[in-house]
Structure 1
Amino acid sequence: MSADHYFTAEPDAPLRRGEIEFTVAGRDYRLAVASGVFSAGRLDPGTAVLLRKGGLPGAAAEGTFLDLGCGYGPIACVLASEAPRVTVYAVDVNARARDLATENAGQLGLADRVLVRSPDEVPQDVTFTEIWSNPPTHIGKAGLHGLLEHWLQRLAPGGTAWLVINRHLGGDSLHTWLVGLGWNVERVASQKGFRVLRVTGKSAD
């Protein structure tokens, strides 16, 4: 089994393509996947819980969203499909994942609103109305904390972040850590071993 994950910039695994199908909010999706990209065999259970239990935007939603660690793009594609006025930055370090996310957004007619980028390609002045993420817990606590600190500070005033974390991989301790940093955190769901957290603006210092 390849050791490549979605935090590998250039996967070494030979390219083996496939497709997965899933349904969210009554819409059916068929997305291209490939080896060397996170959860290429199926929609990751954590992502599925997040999309089922998080507060998906409605058709009237506006603003700029972030899918952090987008992989082949399931979250970004769902957000852009549900909210046709929203622009979604789909960000991943994995070049193969970005290629797939670009392809999948294009196939769904979302290429003009799903902006697939590496982390360094996101303009510094962009802030996000919403951040959605099934973050890479396997990079370790320090790496995960650094990742979330960097991107959460780019939430726009009044913005919301939706995170899903495996309870056995530190979901509850992450909740406590975020509260300790001053964020308002609500656990909105706990399902199949995953915590769905709603994170909103930091309390005033």
Structure 2
Amino acid sequence: MDHYFTDNRHLAENRKEISFRFWCFTYTFITDNGVFSKDSVDFGTRVLLKTLCDRNELGEHILDVGCGYGVIGITLKKIYPKAQMEMVDVNPRAVLLAIDNAKKNNIEADIHESNVYENVKGNTFSDIITNPPIRAGKKVIYKIFEEAYDHLAENGNLWVVIRKQQGAESAVKKIKEVFENCEIINKEKGYFILNAKKH
């Protein structure tokens, strides 16, 4: 079976546009077969964005890991235009869509293919944000948590959205092992928003 975290370019294309209203902006995203949440922006992403923007704590060098077709990175870049935004995904089709969607929504970001942090250079991110690919399994998800620490600047933040029934509590435990802290900063309809700070 093809998942959205694999190279699935051989899948038949079925591009379509969806609309997403957040804060005072309306975004248009092109989606396709073989990408996560192709029919609408998923609820977890909505909760994550709302939580981040309500707290207004993001810094100026942001990395979106597992960016899919670009919702999180593009939305945040519009709201924090001075931030430097990097967006990565292992799925080549998702990366191409994210590049198109950045242009479509008039934002600039460094968007490229990367298996987790493989092609991410530098360790000066103020924030690493992820809606992790649950179907990829714990090994991949925990790698996102573990290696985030090395790519964050001092006092940088990891932000994660994860559903309770998809391992939120074990994710908290794992992040605490890596960062020695992890706070559940919001819960909504079974979705947990987690935050860990690099000290």
TM-score higher than 0.5 here? Answer: yes
Tell me by how many angstroms 1:126 deviates: 4.2
Structure-2 separation of matches of 1:148 and 1:167: 17
Tell me by how many angstroms 1:44 deviates: 1.4
Instruction: Give the alignment partner of residue 132 of structure 2, picking from 132, 135, 141.
Output: 135
Instruction: Give the alignment partner of residue 170 of structure 1, picking from 167, 171, 176.
Output: 167
Tell me by how many angstroms 1:90 deviates: 0.6
Deviations 1:52-96 (A, max 9, x none): 2224686x9652100110000000101110111111111001001
Which position in structure 1 is the counterpart of 2:181? 184
1:121 aligns with 2:116: no
Which position in structure 1 is the counterpart of 2:17? 19
The alignment's C-alpha RMSD in Å is 1.9
Which position in structure 1 is the counterpart of 2:27? 29
Deviations 1:125-146 (A, max 9, x none): 2421111110012111122112
SS across alignment from 1:159 = strand
Which position in structure 2 is the counterpart of 1:41? 39
Structure-2 separation of matches of 1:61 and 1:173: 25
Q: Is the Cα–Cα contact under 8 Å of residues 54 and 196 in structure 1 kept in the other structure? A: no
Which position in structure 1 is the counterpart of 2:85? 88
Q: Is the Cα–Cα contact under 8 Å of residues 58 and 126 in structure 2 kept in the other structure? A: no
TM-score (norm 1): 0.88
Structure-1 separation of matches of 2:130 and 2:5: 13
Tell me by how many angstroms 1:20 deviates: 1.3
Structure-2 separation of matches of 1:61 and 1:163: 14
Instruction: Give the alignment partner of residue 145 of structure 2, picking from 141, 144, 148.
Output: 148
1:64 aligns with 2:93: no
SS across alignment from 1:121 = coil
Tell me by how many angstroms 1:149 deviates: 1.0
The alignment covers a number of residue pairs equal to: 196
Q: Is the Cα–Cα contact under 8 Å of residues 61 and 85 in structure 1 kept in the other structure? A: no
Structure-2 separation of matches of 1:47 and 1:163: 10
Q: Is the Cα–Cα contact under 8 Å of residues 123 and 150 in structure 2 kept in the other structure? A: no
Query: What amino acid is the match of 2:185?
Result: V
Structure-1 separation of matches of 2:33 and 2:103: 20
1:5 aligns with 2:6: no
Structure-1 separation of matches of 2:186 and 2:9: 33
